[in-house]
Structure 1
Amino acid sequence: MTGGVPIPNDSYKLGFIGAGKMAESIARGVVKSGELPASRIQTAHLNPGRRTAFESLGVKVHDHNNQVVEDSDVVIFSVKPQIAQGQVQETQPLNFVLVKSLRLRPNKALQLKPLFSKKQLLVSVVAGVKLKDLQEWAGHSRFIRVLPNTPAAVGEAASVMSLGAAATEEDGKLIAGLFGAIGKLWKADEKLFDAITGLSGSGPAYIYLAIEALADGGVAAGLPRELALGLASQTVLGAASMTTNLGKHPGQLKDDVASPGGTTIAGIHELEKGGFRGILMNAVVAAAKRSRELS
């Protein structure tokens, strides 16, 4: 299938269906980076707290999702997986959904077009919901699925995207710009998304455990709690930055720190005895397996 009308990079409007923390993180990053002005971003929510969170960024907040869809060139679905189908379908006319669900051939009285037009690009950040289902629910194939993670809240997300049937390479570049504003983005086949969920989706929780354990070790060695936690957090941040920026394999970076007969190699020896690497590998595999079960 071919894509729809190209979306102008300098004037398109962005809408969010779902006004939760992930949508807020994306909107905040996009505005802060200058990728898109707040005046061209909108969402819908009735909760005063969520409305205030977006309005404080300069984002327009409607009362209903249909208002967002009608006035957006790019629509990002950022909702819970269990309500995704309803949220996608409620943005279409009722009798279109009814006719489609009953698999009837509509007569002229019922014949209505979906609300989504070919000129619109739809994006999903909904965990565990596949492109084929999203496209079927929406009656629209110009869809891109993106899997970000929670560090989006501080502009350090690890995101991966996969293009739907009618999404173009230009669509992909546009979305790369948006999600590049909240971290780093890679492109991959959707069949890899369960494994990606096990690594980058669930991975921040593994690192939080590691930071907590390092801090507890510092306390056990005699450090004040606040100092231990600060040192543990900054050590993880610094090590990640070196891995990302220096272009060295992490094994080489480890060897650079571990002097013969020194303190670091003594600590590494204890980690190896405890099966540290195998445990982390098993955690990723277990989370990926669970993602496949859920999706």
Structure 2
Amino acid sequence: MSRPRTFAPPAGARAYALATARGEFAVIDAPAAAGAEPRGIALLLPGFTGSKEDFNPLHEALGARGYRTVAVDGRGQFESDGPADDESAYAQEELARDVLAQAAAVGDGRPVHLLGHSLGGQIARAAVLLDHTPFRSLTLMSSGPAQISVPQQQRVKLLRDALAVMPMAEVWEAMRAMDAPEELDEGGVDDQEDPEDLRRRWLGNKPAQLLAAGRQLCTEPDRVGELAAVPLPFHVLSGARDDTWPLPLLDDMALRLRAHRTVIEGAEHSPNSERPAPTAEALAAFWDRVNG
């Protein structure tokens, strides 16, 4: 779980409900900076228990490089609606089709750069495998080739077991007491974070979405071979340490994809919030190369 220091949209960005062919999705939409040459559009998908706000630290720097960035809450995630108790609504293919609809709405006929963080990377991959034509490139940020590591699977199982018997508010209190048994970053809560914002985000998630996502993280098959056959430029970006998908797995995945590889020093599972400046620079440099 990325932990944004502020949930307020960056200066110049808009928070609104994006209308798509598959319903409305809450987004933060940040334009390219005034005076910057427009270079393209990027659609940003957050990870498990995360939200669109996880990308707040990146918008300004990417806008200065000419990129409009649109971060989205997936179905049943924080401020996007979804059923509370129907896990089938959160099957991976359903979420992938949501991404195709989001890309169509954001791009308005133009291909967009797609980025998925952690679970968002698995969903982004599934969308590209359904139809790659709405996309200009795919960046997998801290998102590996298959299921998460065994220690993280054990943490996710604790969370899923708790959700089965406890209300969301009680699960949140238990997670705080246990330092969050979920896909989390190292280091605990940052002094500049607002715990109430994090709690509000947690309570905005639909339980069925969390249960389905947790199952997906623990059972995802290796689809790198399928993805490598897709004619898109790929980028594998991560921190220098990751307990969810260890770096050797990410390095090997990048080789199999013939992908550009970036390691952000000083970052772990969430380089977007831990080291936003070099992360934004790496993303913009990759997209610039793709754009030619």
TM-score of the superposed pair, with normalisation by structure 2: 0.30
TM-score of the superposed pair, with normalisation by structure 1: 0.30
Larger relative contact order (Cα-Cα within 8 Å, sequence gap ≥ 6) = 2
As a proportion of its length, which structure holds more helix? 1
As a proportion of its length, which structure holds more strand? 2
